[in-house]
Structures are given as structure tokens and as C-alpha cells.
Amino acid sequence: MDKFVIHGGKTLKGAVTIGGSKNEALAIMPAALLASGKYSLGNVPELRDIATMGRLLELMGVDIERERDTLVVNTFRVNKFEAPYEQVKKMRASIYVLGPLVARYGKARVSLPGGCAWGPRPVNLHIEGIRKLGAKVEIRGGYIVAKATRLKGAKITLDVSSVGATGNIMMAASLARGTSVIANAATEPEITALAVFLTKMGARIDGIGTSRLEIEGVDTLHPVDERMIPDRIEAGTFLVAAALCGGTVRLEMCKPDHLMAVISKLEEAGARFELGDNWIRLTAPRAIHPVDVKTAIYPGFPTDMQAQWITLMSLSRGSSVIIDSIYFDRFKHVPELIRLGADIDLNRNAAIVKGVKSLTGTKVMSTDLRASASLVLAGLAADGTTEVLRVYHLDRGYERIEKKLQMLGASIRRVSGREF
């Protein structure tokens, strides 16, 4: 297992190019199951999660080749309709194959994902949604087993505005007979991008970008080419890194509109911004002001930026409260940040952070993707040397993060498992 060795205290400056959206790609790759043929998917980041989704689709007979940032996906020979536990346990987004398989092939056997590193993450809304569309769904031996001749349009109101359930149900409803409505649908940019992709494939979807999606099912869809939108969480992570480490950093190939909640909180913290159509320049604050944050569905502050925000607030000039209202247990980074010298009290889903003058480097352990990002940021800002162990979590969602940070002037080095 690789680790990062970080010598903290370097000012970040220069430009960094943001990659394509992981979470969009993880929805669009399985969406390709909805029509036979060849797709060209551009701006797909080279990440472990993308490779895991690729492997899962290959097990079903999909042919996938990477040509630089483009995946050429051929769904001509799909002959298995199963997502085995061995794959699903590596990545929960594997559940996205459920809707497309039932809608297109009338059958699916998908392992239940189980919990995740920081707590329970149910998939009940995915299952109920597919059921409402007329599929017969049973849970047998840890698997979701679904069957249908042809799905039928239905009105589905999501109890919680779930990104994954909205995506899964929207994909399935695209090939159902009749009209479906998804109320309280997620409006995250990755879901909007998926809706746009499905529309290009021939789906009829109204209300794209709103919380009420109306989908008139069609008989067939056709393959298309698409480019992924920029990854807003990668961009947000670099913004927080820059704010923590001083200096001025410009993000290229990003979408400021998708980051307004993070940008406005960073402004409150004292950062200054210039925004273009597809770039952002951040000048770090001299002193970081304390700013409370409560995570929310889009366009609110993303839960995927909560851990990084706690790191920023650890070095602020005062106290702040960070509440995660999406995932109550997503705080595995807190004990590790405390080991670096942060002053954080955890009260259920609220972290009370008292800013300290400095953090001090030591060894810390990654537990999940965004927690790992927060530890890398802490290491960049800490005095001395920080070792972040188990960085494979970061490789799931950040493409060559150490190279990008090096280009901004950070002292960060990957040491491969064999060397220590």
C-alpha cells in the first residue's frame, strides 16, 4: 500500500487543470447498457473507481478501451446480467447497473453493497423505485434479484433526494412504457449531466435540472458520444488547499457555477476570487476566518467537501461548527486530524472546531476518499513531515493528486508499498 510523505508549509501557486467528473462517469458508463453499440466517453479521469466500474461492465460482456482521456465502450455483446459481491463491495456505485439491466434486458442480479467505511448507506430507494416501475424484486442471498417483461411508467416520490436513486430510476424509466415522474429528484450537476446524456440517446426527459423529472419512456435508445463535466469536488479540494497554504492558484477547465456554495464559504473565510467561464483564481486569505457549514443537497455545500472544510477550519482564527446533514457518521478524519494537533469536538453529526495556530506533522491513516483528502490538505499546511498511509483511497477519486500538487509547489511524494 502506497503512502504520501508531505513536507508542510509550502505556499501553493500556479495553475492546475481539473479532470472530468468521477461521479458523472460512474453513472454514464452503466447508462451505456441501455442501448447496444459503441460509445465514446471523453474527459473520463483515470481513477480506481472508474477502473472498477469498467471491470464490472466487462464481466457483463461490455468491451472497454481507454485511449488517453477517452473510454470507447462497446455494449454489443452484453451476455451477463449480474454484479457480483466481489465487485460491488469495492464500490457502491456498482448499484447503477440495476436500472439499466432491468429496463433493457428484463433481469438483473446485483449484490447488496453493505455498509461503507463510515457507516450505513442504504439502497432502499433504488429498490423501491425499480419495484414501482413494475419489476419483481426480491432480496435473496445478499443479492437484489429483479425481473420484468417491460417496465411501466410510475410516479415515484423519493423520501430523500438521493443522487444514486434518481440516476438509477431515471435510467430505468427511460425505457419504460408510459410516463414516469420522479419527485424530490436530485439536482446535482452529475445527475443533470446524466439526464442530458440520456436525452442525447433518445430519452424524453422534462424538468432536467429541477427536482421534478418527467420521463416519457421510449422503445429504444441509441449510443452517443459524450464528454464528462469537470469534477467539482476535485476543484473544491484544490480551492481549499490553496486557501490553506497561502498564495494564488488558478484552476483551469472547471465550472465555477457548480461550486458557488464552496466559493461563497471560502469568501467568508477571507479568500478572494476571480471567476471566468471555465476557470477560477483564488487568492488565499492572510488569516482564515471561522465559518460554519452545514452540508446539504445541491446547490448547498456538498458533503463531499465536509472533511476538507474541517481541515481548513482547524487553522482558522476562531471557532466554527460543521454539520453533516447528509451523512451523519462521516467523520473518520476527525481523530486523525486531532493527531495532527487540531482541536475538534464531535457531537453526533456536528464537529465543533477551535482553530489552532499550527498543526504538526505525524503519521495518519486514510479511511475513505474525502477523509484522505482532508489529511493530505492538513499535511500540506502542517509544520514538519506528515505521512498519509493507505492512499489507495485517494486513488479512487483524485487523478495524480500528488503530481498536481507538486506542480503548485507542494512537497509531496508517493512512496510505494515495496519501499517501506
Ranges within 188-247 binding ligand UD1 (CB under 6 A): 190
Residue from 10, 104, 109, 126 binding ligand UD1 (CB under 6 A): 126
Residue with smaller CB distance to ligand UD1, 234 or 387? 234
How many Å apart are CA 43 and CA 11, to the nearest integer? 29
Instruction: Find where cell 510523505 sits.
Output: 5
H or E element at residue 347: strand 343-347
26 near ligand UD1, judged by CB under 6 A: yes
Is residue 303 close enough to count as binding ligand UD1 by CB under 6 A?
yes
Instruction: Take residue 353 and report the three cell numbers written for it.
Output: 472546531
Q: Does 156 bind ligand UD1 (CB under 6 A)?
A: no
Count Cβ atoms within 10 A of the Cβ of residue 420 and give its class: 0-12 exposed, 13-18 middle, 19 or more buried.
Answer: exposed
Contact 172, 100 (CB under 8 A): yes
377 binds ligand UD1 (CB under 6 A): no
Per-residue interface string for the shown chain with ligand UD1, residues 258-297, x marking contact by CB under 6 A = ----------------------------------------
For the chain, give the number of residues: 420
Give helix 260-268 / helix 232-245 axis angle, nearest 10°: 10
Instruction: Give the Cα separation of 326 and 118 in Å (integer).
Output: 12
Catalytic residue among 72, 112, 116, 407: 116
- Listing DSSP states for 69-131 in one string gives TEEEEE-TT----EE-HHHHTT-GGGGGGHHHHHHHHSEEEEE----BTTB----HHHHHHHH
What cell does 275 get?
A: 471567476
User: Exposure of 270 by Cβ count < 10 A (0-12 exposed, 13-18 middle, 19+ buried)?
Assistant: middle
Query: Which one of the spans 123-131, 171-179, 315-323, 373-381 is the region binding ligand UD1 (CB under 6 A)?
Result: 123-131
Closer CB to ligand UD1, residue 234 or residue 304? Answer: 304
Q: Does 367 bind ligand UD1 (CB under 6 A)?
A: no
CB of 124 to ligand UD1, least distance (A): 5
Cell digits for 251? 484552476
Q: Which of 123, 137, 259, 376 binds ligand UD1 (CB under 6 A)?
A: 123
DSSP 8-state symbol, 201: T
Among 7, 55, 89, 121, binds ligand UD1 (CB under 6 A): 121
Q: Is 23 in the site for ligand UD1 (CB under 6 A)?
A: yes
- Burial environment of residue 383 by CB neighbours within 10 A (0 to 12, 13 to 18, 19 or more): middle
Q: Which residue, 326, 330, 329, 360, is CA-closest to 343?
A: 360
Does the protein bind ligand UD1 through residue 139 (CB under 6 A)?
Answer: no
Q: Which span (104-112, 158-166, 264-272, 343-351) binds ligand UD1, by CB under 6 A? A: 158-166
- Whole-angstrom Cα distance, residue 369 to residue 302? 14
245 tagged catalytic: no
* Residue 69 near residue 20 (C-beta atoms within 8 A): yes
SS3 call for 282: strand
Nearer to ligand UD1, 179 or 303 (CB): 303
Report the site for ligand UD1 in 88-107 (rule: CB under 6 A). Answer: 92-93
Based on CB atoms, which residue is closest to ligand UD1, 10 or 393? 393
Among 14, 37, 115, 122, binds ligand UD1 (CB under 6 A): 122
Is residue 73 at the binding interface for ligand UD1, with CB under 6 A as the rule?
A: no
**46: burial class by Cβ within 10 Å (0-12, 13-18, 19+)?**
middle
Q: Is the Cβ of residue 81 or residue 118 nearer to ligand UD1 in the bound state?
A: 118
Residue 299, SS3 per DSSP: coil
Q: Is 152 in the site for ligand UD1 (CB under 6 A)?
A: no
Residues between 316 and 335 with contacts to ligand UD1, criterion CB under 6 A:
326-327
Residue 162 sits in the site that holds ligand UD1 (CB under 6 A): yes
Rounded Cα–Cα distance for residues 300 and 269 (Å):
17
**Using CB under 6 A, which of 2, 226, 234, 304 touches ligand UD1?**
304
Choices 157-165, 335-343, 388-396, 405-413 (CB under 6 A): range interacting with ligand UD1: 157-165
Using CB under 6 A, pick the residue from 165, 172, 322, 351 that binds ligand UD1: 165
Our CB check for ligand UD1 shows the closer of 23 and 180 to be 23
Taking CB under 6 A as the rule, which mask of x and - marks residues 28-67 in contact with ligand UD1? ----------------------------------------
Contacts to ligand UD1 by CB under 6 A:
23, 26, 92-93, 121-126, 160, 162-165, 186, 190, 303-304, 326-327
Active-site residue numbers?
A: 116
